[in-house]
Amino acid sequence: MARPTSGRIMLGEREITSLPERFLTEIRCRTFGFIFQQFNLIKGITALENVMIPAYPSGEKYASLKARAMRLLEIFDLARKATSKIEWLSGGEAQRVTIARALINNPSVVIADEPTAHLDTKLSEELMNIIEKLKNEGKTVLVASHDPIVHDAAMVDRVVAMRDGKIVDGGRL
């Protein structure tokens, strides 16, 4: 989301570090789905509207965008909460809306910061099943987490342990 202080960022065969911001915004929207630790949901609007927001710049017809957002809410057992204002949702429901929002543009890369932080064990395991499905679809998923449910999951390819900003264990492959 931010330009690096040094080095270059490659996306496939393309170097994107020096691209103008307007191009980077489009790349972020189409390529990456972000699940933030702090939900960053917009209060005063519904769960459905929050899920749809990242797709608005695409110019897609409202009806098809709404249908896609509703399918995502259904996957996360939130269809009945589609018209609920964000501030009326529980922490776990808000987290699932955040995950649905990250997937609305069908990104090839999902970056998640503590995605199970507000979920109970059952919902955390369900989330890991969803992440496994994303992985099986060919998506790259990068998760930062302290949760053993995440880093002990069988589908995890690699765990990198960090302490004070330094890698202390390169983990399993």
Of residues 101 and 171, which shows the higher confidence score? 101
Confidence at 88, pLDDT banded by 50, 70, 90: very high
Confidence at 10, pLDDT banded by 50, 70, 90: confident
Q: How many residues does the chain have?
A: 173
pLDDT digits (tens, 9 = 90+) for 29-43: 889 999 888 889 999
pLDDT digits (tens, 9 = 90+) for 129-169: 888 988 999 999 999 999 999 988 888 898 888 889 888 88
- Please check whether residue 125 lies inside any domain of the structure: yes
Residue 70 CB-density burial (10 A; 0-12 exposed, 13-18 middle, 19+ buried): middle
> 59: which 2 tokens?
């110019």
> 130: which 2 tokens?
């969803």
- Please check whether residue 78 lies inside any domain of the structure: yes
pLDDT digits (tens, 9 = 90+) for 49-83: 999 999 987 778 999 999 999 999 998 899 999 99
Average model confidence (pLDDT) for the chain?
A: 89
- Judge contact between 134 and 141, C-beta under 8 A: yes
Domain total in the chain: 1
| Model-wide pTM > 0.95 | no
What lies within 8 Å, CB to CB, of 1 at 6+ separation is 28, 34
CATH for 38: 3.40.50.300
pLDDT at residue 84 in the model: 97
The parent domain of residue 115 ranges over 10-169
